[in-house]
Amino acid sequence: MSLIVIFEDEYLICVHKPNNMLVHHAHHSRNISDETSLLQLVLIEKGLKVYPIHRLDRKTSGIILLAKETKYVSKFQKLFNANEIQKTYFGVVRGFSPEKKVIDSPVKGRDASVHKTAVTYLKTISQVTLDIPVKPYDSSRYSLVELSPKTGRMHQLRVHSNKISHPLIGDRKYGDKNHDHMFDQNFGWKNMFLHAGSLTFTHPFTSEKMQLKAPFPKDWISLFEKFQWANPLD
């Protein structure tokens, strides 16, 4: 698997994380011993030891920032903590989602006994009805949504999509297995349809205005063609 580099300077490298790849191995992760993490891939391909500035779930594809020195991490993290980085994700969800919605619903933190404030802005971009039955209906409906999290809770976008009864396709934990099965059987798409598409921020060291975009994986490109949806990153 080859690394896709989106941006690089002396402070950070911004790369595309594929679906089903860990950012790094951790004690609590269900690691496969010979599984290559994103940090290992960067080391192999670029010869760089890098440090994550933020998180992406294993099953989420898309843009991630990695610092080249530990001393650079905190300045970038301050931007995330102050909500000064605009994060834009894209998802494919079950049903016809609302045109716009603010989802304001607490999400469990890493300490599962504590719920924390979580806010997500949702905007529906495209919709489709397929003449493919999914129980209990004779057809199936899907929406392409833009998701902008204003907080950074674990699994926030996945939980919030489920909360409004429009779960993400391919989400084994919070999704709808009947629709996931249909996507697999009819199209061969097995991955979760959640993609970290872009980050917009002011570089804390150079003051440069940054707008970085991660191209969609091949499943997404195939879906856009099948559903006749425009690529929102074009």
**CA–CA dist 107, 167 (Å, integer):** 15
Query: Is the bond preceding residue 217 a cis peptide, omega within 30 degrees?
Result: no
Q: Catalytic residue among 9, 34, 57, 111, which?
A: 57
User: Residue 168 carries which DSSP code?
Assistant: B
Cβ-based neighbours of 154, under 8 Å, separated by 6 or more: 55, 107, 108, 109, 110
Q: How far is CA 151 from the centre of its chain?
A: 14
Pairing of β 61-67 and β 194-202: parallel
- Decide if 171 is catalytic: no
- In angstroms, what CA-CA distances link 132 with 116, 137, 226, 230? 39, 9, 13, 22
Beta-strand ranges (E) seen in the chain are 4-8, 12-17, 51-52, 61-67, 86-94, 100-104, 107-108, 115-116, 119-130, 140-149, 194-202, 209-213
- In angstroms, what CA-CA distances link 185 with 130, 134, 196, 218, 226? 14, 12, 26, 17, 15
**CA–CA dist 97, 146 (Å, integer):** 11
Give me the residues paired with residue 145 across strands: 91, 124
By annotation, the residues acting in catalysis are 57
